Amino acid sequence: MKFLIVANWKCNPKTIKEAQKILKGYKAPKNVELIVCPPLVFIPQLKGNVSFGAQDCFYGEGAFTGEVSPTMLKSVGLRHVIVGHSERRVLFNETDEIANRKMKAILQEKLIPILCVGENREERESNETFEVIKRQIGEGLDGVAKDKVKNIVLAYEPVWAIGTGKFASAEKIQQVKIFIKKLINTKYGAKASEKVKIIYGGSVDSRNIASYLSDAGMDGVLVGGVSLRIKEFNQLLKAVK
């Protein structure tokens, strides 16, 4: 099994030239499935030995100025779509219900949603981590049929760890992984729970990645800032074991 490494470029870099340079510099080893999620507008002019994914999508088509649907993403060859990223939740008021509608629209097209869940700093300090994750997964997967669940990727991204250089211990992350597996097992059964991939995100770099993959047993990672820095990102890829 290959480790799933998702590079989320967010609203970066500024120009297509910079984007081409970053992608050209990537050296993905054989044990990695690398999904790069650049700003959508760059994708037609990017070439590389990677798969591209989307950072978000909308759940409908028609009079929704500025939005892009899963059907459109599929028609240009994209397979993975990030859903419910904390930046969408916090900065753009995305609710669990909206994330759920997006999940269903993505799965309807047989694409792979990467649903992001995770507690913020206050929730962590008041020991609400598991409660938050239970709500986000319960509502995010509400009405999602059993046969669709095997294609889902769940990303545990504690909000307080994103872009801060702070990161959770391997032990804590493993507890969250076990908790998520149990939630899926209860709702969809053991087979589905085995198939669902669980990845970690939040200040992942070449020094801490091993603790998430080998110690916490995650199936991969979601990388923000470091994925824009070629040398550091290649070091991170090299450290995948």
207 makes contact with ligand 13P (CB under 6 A):
no
CB-based contact 87:51 (threshold 8 Å): no
SS3 4: strand
| C-beta contacts of 212-218 below 8 A and 24+ residues apart | 212/170, 212/173, 213/3, 213/240, 213/241, 214/241, 215/170, 215/171, 215/174, 216/170, 216/171, 216/173, 216/174, 216/177, 217/174, 217/177, 218/156, 218/173, 218/177
Interaction pattern, residues 131-160, with ligand 13P; x per rule: CB under 6 A: --------------------------x---
What CA–CA distance (Å, rounded) separates 203 from 172?
15
Nearer of residues 220 and 225 to ligand 13P, judged by Cβ: 225
> Exactly one of 199, 204, 209, 236 binds ligand 13P (CB under 6 A); which one?
204
Query: Is 202 a binder of ligand 13P (CB under 6 A)?
Result: yes
From 85, 87, 94, 119, the catalytic residue: 85
Binding mask 158-197 for ligand 13P (x = CB under 6 A): ----xx----------------------------------
118 binds ligand 13P (CB under 6 A): no
18 included as an active-site residue? no
Residue 40 gets which letter from DSSP? G
Calculate the alpha carbon distances from 158 to 8, 65, 229, 230 in Å.
Answer: 15, 31, 22, 25
Binding mask 11-40 for ligand 13P (x = CB under 6 A): ------------------------------
Comparing CB distances to ligand 13P, the nearer of 192 and 237 is 237
Does 8 bind ligand 13P (CB under 6 A)? Our answer is yes
Q: Under the rule (CB under 6 A), what is the footprint of ligand 13P?
A: 8, 85, 157, 162-163, 201-204, 222-226
